A and B are shown apart, each in its own frame.
Chain A
Amino acid sequence: MRDHPVLMSVLLALVIALFAASLLVGPAGIAPMQALSALLRGDGTAEALVMREIRLPRALLAVMIGASLGLAGAAMQGYLRNPLAEPGLIGVSGSAALGAVIALQTGLAASFALGLPLAALTGAALAVGLLLALAGPRGGSLTLILAGIAVSALAGALTALVLNLSPNPFAAAEIVFWMMGSLVDRSMTHVWLALPLMAVGWVLLAGLGRGLDALTLGEDAAETLGIPLGRLRLMLVAGTACVVGAGTAVAGAIGFVGLVVPHILRPFVGARPSALLPASALGGAVMLLAADVAVRLVLPDRDLKLGVVTALVGAPLFLHLIYRTRAEGL
C-alpha cells in the first residue's frame, strides 16, 4: 500500500465494486436495494436465502480464489525468475483435480457434501509430498520445475485414465464440466473449508517478498545476502499448495489468472517482486470477480464455466506476452 498507493487504491476500489456487482447480479432478479437489505436482514425470506446462501459465498470465493491465484502466481514467477511461470506449474492443481475426479467417479462426491473437496485436498497433499521428495531439500529452482512437470504429467495421465474408464457418457461429462471450474451453487461450507487453508497459504506467500527481491540477483547472490533459499522454497511450495489446493478443491481448475495478472501488474510496481505480491493478490480478485460476473451476464442460461472465461481472456494476453517478449529480443 505504502509504495504504490494509487495502484493499490484503484485495485481495492475495483475489488469492492465488483464484489458488490457479484452480489447484485443473478437469475433471481432481485432489485439492488432489496438485495442488500435482504443480505443484512438475513431473515428467512427467499431473498435473504438467495443472498446469504448463494450469492455471498460465490462472491467471497471469487475474491479468495482470485487473490490466491494472483498471489501464488506472483510468488512463483518471482522465485523462478520467469514471467511464464504460474501456480499450476508445481502440479498441485492437477493433483487436486485428480482427487476431485476420483471422488466424482467413485460416488464419494455424491455421498456427502464435502467428499469432493476433501478428496481434492488429499490429492494436493500427496502431490506436495511427492514434489518435495523428488526435488529434495536442497537444490535449485530447476529441479523444482522438473519435479513439478513430472507430478503434473502423472496427475494428468491418471485423470485421463479415470475419464477413460468412466462407466457412461454422463459421468464423463460431469467430470469434464467440473474440471472447467465454476463457482455456481457453492455454499458457505465451501468458504469455511477453504478459508483456513488459504489463510495459512497467504501468510506463507506474503512472507516471501524480501527473498524474492534478493533473487532478482540470482540464487548465489541471494544466499550471500542472508536469504535461506531452502526455507524460501519450502514456504513457496507449501503456501502455493495451500491456496491452489484449497481453490481447486472448491471451484475446480481455474487457469491463467496466476499467469496473466502478475504479468499485467509488473510494470506498475517497477517490477519489484515484493511489491508485486499484494498488487497481484488484489488483481487476481478483480479478474476472477469480473469473470464470474461475466459468466452470469453473457450467457445467463447456458452455465458458461468460469475457467473457460478466464482462459478465453487469458490466452490472448498470453500471446501478447510472448509477442512482447520476442520484441524485447529476450
Chain B
Amino acid sequence: MLTLRSLSVARGPCTVLDDITLHISAGEFVGLIGPNGAGKTTLMRAALGLLPHGGQSSLAALPAQTRARAVAWMPQAREIAWPVSVETLIALGRLPHLATGARPAPVDRAAIDAAIAGMGLEGFRTRAANQLSGGEQARVLIARVLAQDTPLILADEPAAGLDPAHQITLMQAFAAEAARGRSVVASLHDLGLAARHCTRIIALHRGRIAADGPPAQVLNAALLAEVFHITAWVANTPYGPVCQPLEVLG
C-alpha cells in the first residue's frame, strides 16, 4: 500500500523528517501519534509527494492520476470554499474515477451514497456544506475521502473537533475499511482512541520514528514519558485496551 525508504524533509537548515522507513500493508489501521511539531503532517504530505523530499515514497513516485485512485488525502485544514451542497462536495471524491466532463455513473452514485450513510449525513444532502458546524464539516470531508474509494486513506487529525459519538463512529468506519482489506493512516492526538481502534501505532518524535508496533506494545510508560512528557494509565480492561493520560512530567 505504502512504502517509505529513508524519507527525509528539510525546511531551510532544519531537518523536519529524518530517515523514515516504513511499510503499510493491506488491512492495517495505523495511528500516527506524536506531540505538536513531531512531523506527522510533514510525513504524510511528503509521502503523498506534496512536499520536496529526500528518499523514496511509493506514492510520490506515481503519476498524479494513478495516485488519485491509489490514495485519498484528508488535509488538516478543513477547507470548503463555496456554499456547494453536501452531496456535491462529497461527489468531488469521485473526480479521479470520472473522465473529463463525464457524469457520475451508478457505481459513483453508490460510492457517494455509501459515504453519506457511513458518516450519518443522510439529512444533510442538500445543505450548504460551508454553513454547517465545524464537526459536521469534518464529517462531510471524511465522507468525501471515503467516496474516493481508494485502497489507502491518509487523514490528518480526522477526529479533531468531533463529539465523542462521532469520534467513535469515525474510528469504527476506518476500522471497517481496514477490515475489508483497505489501509488507513490517521494522525491522532487522542491516545485513547488510538489505543482502542488502531491495529498499529507509529510514534513520531522530533522527525524520527520513536516506536512502531501494536498499540499494547507502543503505548507504554517509558515511551509516553519520553515522547509526550506525560504519565498515563494504560491497561487491558474487559472493555478493551484503555490509555488515559494523567499528568505532565515536570
Contacts and interface: CB of A to CB of B under 8 A. Distances in A.
A223 B84 CA distance: 20
A31 to B, nearest CB: 46
A216 B80 contact: yes
Nearest to B63: A226
Interface stretch (A55-63, A172-180, A265-273): A265-273
Interface in A185-242: 210, 213-218, 220-221, 223-228
A227 to B, nearest CB: 8
Nearest to A81: B81
Interface string B60-100: 00001101110111110101111111001100110110001
A112 to B, nearest CB: 43
B183 to A, nearest CB: 16
Contacts of B73: 220-221, 224
B50 interface: yes
Contacts of A220: 45, 50, 73, 75, 77
Contacts of B128: 271
Contact of A224 (B50, B79, B83, B101): B50
**Could you say which interface size class chain A belongs to?**
20 to 34
Contacts of A223: 50, 64
Given A215-B81, A216-B82, A217-B79, A226 B88 contact: no
A223 B72 CA distance: 10
Given A210-B95, A216-B89, A224 B48 contact: yes
Given A218-B77, A272-B88, A273-B82, A224 B71 contact: yes
Contact of A271 (B82, B100, B144, B148): B82
B178 interface: no
Contacts of A228: 64
Given A223-B50, A266-B82, A271-B82, A217 B92 contact: yes
B119 interface: no
Contacts of B71: 224
A226 B100 contact: no
Interface in A243-287: 266, 270-273
Interface string A72-105: 0000000001000000000000000000000000
A216 B84 contact: yes
A330 B126 CA distance: 21
A34 to B, nearest CB: 45
Contact of A81 (B67, B82, B96): B82
Contact of B84 (A221, A224, A272): A272
B141 interface: yes
B92 A224 contact: no
Contacts of B65: 226
Given A210-B100, A218-B75, A270-B85, A225 B80 contact: no
B95 A225 contact: yes
A217 B50 contact: no
Contact of A226 (B45, B64, B89): B64
Q: Which of B68, B69, B148 has the most CB of A within 10 A?
A: B68
B87 to A, nearest CB: 10
A131 to B, nearest CB: 23
Contacts of B148: 225
Q: Which of B64, B65, B128 has the most CB of A within 10 A?
A: B64
A271 B84 contact: yes
Contacts of A273: 82
B212 to A, nearest CB: 24
Contact of B83 (A218, A221, A271): A271
A216 B81 CA distance: 5
A226 B96 contact: yes
Contacts of B45: 220
B89 A224 contact: no
B50 to A, nearest CB: 6
Contacts of A272: 82, 84, 88
Contacts of A218: 75, 77, 79, 81
B130 to A, nearest CB: 9
Nearest to A224: B73
A110 to B, nearest CB: 47
A210 B48 CA distance: 21
Interface of B: 45, 48, 50, 64-65, 67-69, 71-75, 77, 79-85, 88-89, 92-93, 95-96, 100-101, 128, 141, 144, 148
6 contacts: A221-B79, A224-B73, A225-B68, A225-B93, A226-B64, A266-B82
5 closest pairs, A vs B, by CB? A226-B68, A218-B79, A81-B81, A224-B73, A271-B82
Given A210-B101, A217-B81, 6 more contacts: A210-B95, A216-B82, A224-B71, A270-B88, A271-B84, A273-B82
